[in-house]
Amino acid sequence: MRRFERGLAAAALAVAALMPHAKAAESLAALSFLVGERVADPVSGGRPNQGGKSEIRPDLNGSLLVRRDHTHMAEGGDLDMIMTMYAEGGYLRADFFDTAGHVIHYHVTELAPGRRVQFTSDPAPAAPTFRLTYEGLAGGRLAVRFEIAPPGPQPSFTLFTDGTLSPSP
């Protein structure tokens, strides 16, 4: 009987270990419209775009999504970015890093599964608030909008940049 009990306990631990991964994958399924390789449209946000590419792929057996961007800046130079999107404690979160030294920790504030997601930065005293919105468009295109609000209790966002991304040829 002890062998059976040990075997049952081991099986229960194995199932429990898989549960967080299954829940994370289920939560991340709402963001599946983001997955793919895309390039910036030549005219984006009503102005010429300098160019760039973005790739969002599942990683760690589907427990997170990783966004990698390479952007040619209008003022010259290039900027590389990485953003990880993951489920934690029943919530969708994201962490952003770039080669300019920016770090932004986000939580999802709006979600229309498979169509739209809005990330807002975690509140920090005397720091601006950032909002990043993705919206799925026809043909696998994505609309992207990045806004900033000055420090304060009621964020008043203003557009910093926006544009569209199309699937890579």
Along the chain (169 residues), what's the average pLDDT of each consecutive run of 10 residues? 45 38 65 93 58 90 93 76 93 94 94 94 89 96 94 86 88
- Which amino acid belongs to residue 124? A
Please report, for the chain, the start and end positions of each structural domain, with discontinuous segments joined by +.
Answer: 34-167
Residue of 118, 142, 112 whose CA lies nearest to 131: 118
| pTM score of the predicted model | 0.79
Residue owning tokens 């043909």: 139
pLDDT at 145: 94
Superfamily of domain 34-167: Calycin beta-barrel core domain (2.40.128.20)
Q: Are 85 and 96 contacting, i.e. CB atoms less than 8 angstroms apart? A: no
CA–CA dist 70, 62 (Å, integer): 23
